[in-house]
Amino acid sequence: MSDLLTAQSMHKSFGNVQAVRDASLQIAPGEIVALMGRSGSGKTTMMHLLAGLEKPTSGRILYQEQDITPLDEDALALWRRANIGLVFQAFHLIPTLSALENVAFPLYPDKISASERKERALARLEQVGLAQRADHQPSKLSGGEQQRVAIARALVNTPGLILADEPTGNLDSQTGDEILNLFHELRREAGVSFLIVTHDDKVAATADRILVMKDGEIQ
């Protein structure tokens, strides 16, 4: 079976600063990979490169054997919406929208009916165990519930890969464990792959494989 995503000899410079240097990695379908490193090691920049949020200075990224590196920003946005889910430490939910509306938000560019949009968003909330909180705004949800809404939003377009940047960083240890267990459930039930960016040994230990970044290089 071919890899879901392959990054080859990635470099990323910001002026004179080399944030990523000759970094390569592979993620197989259904695999959970942890990317570890201290602050400033380049791991978040690497995640942004894999998501098409940053363009590499050199190197290339293959997703399902398609080279996405030459794509312009508009094409990358379409590719990302179809294939990648993003989960962040800070949740990034829209405070004025309900949980259901937050999950449905990425579907608005699609030409689907309001009823279908609601149905798909509610199905994802149910998948993360929050269907009963669909009408609650983020301020009425716990941190763990907000992260579950963010995960449901990341899943709503049925991505093959979720990139999660410190997804348990703002959660207590029990809630963090619940989020990691949810990742494994999603892998088993839907075959989703995960790249989890973390500095936490406990989080990394739950992955199938651990990669370590130091000074922009994958060790």
Q: C-alpha angle with apex 123: 119 to 128, nearest 5 degrees? A: 150
| pLDDT, position 26 | 96
Number of neighbouring beta carbons within 10 Å of residue 22: 14
DSSP letter string over 89-158?
A: TT----TTS-HHHHHHGGGTTS---HHHHHHHHHHHHHHTT-GGGTT--GGGS-HHHHHHHHHHHHHTT-
| pLDDT, position 219 | 86
- pLDDT digit string, tens, across residues 184-208: 999 998 899 999 999 899 999 999 9
Q: How many independent structural domains does the chain possess?
A: 1
Could you give the CA distance from residue 147 to residue 170 in angstroms, rounded to a whole number? Answer: 9
- CA torsion sign, 151 to 153 to 154 to 157? positive
Residue 110 has pLDDT above 80, yes or no: no
| pLDDT, position 89 | 85
Q: Give the range of the structural domain holding residue 38, as residue numbers without chain letter.
A: 5-218
Tokens of 213: 């970044």
| pLDDT, position 1 | 61
Q: Which residue has the tokens 């940053």?
A: 54
User: Of 156, 155, 157, nearest to 186 (Cα)?
Assistant: 155
CATH number at residue 126: 3.40.50.300
- pLDDT digit string, tens, across residues 121-169: 999 999 899 999 999 999 999 999 999 999 999 999 989 999 999 999 8
- pLDDT digit string, tens, across residues 3-40: 999 999 999 999 999 999 999 999 999 999 999 998 88
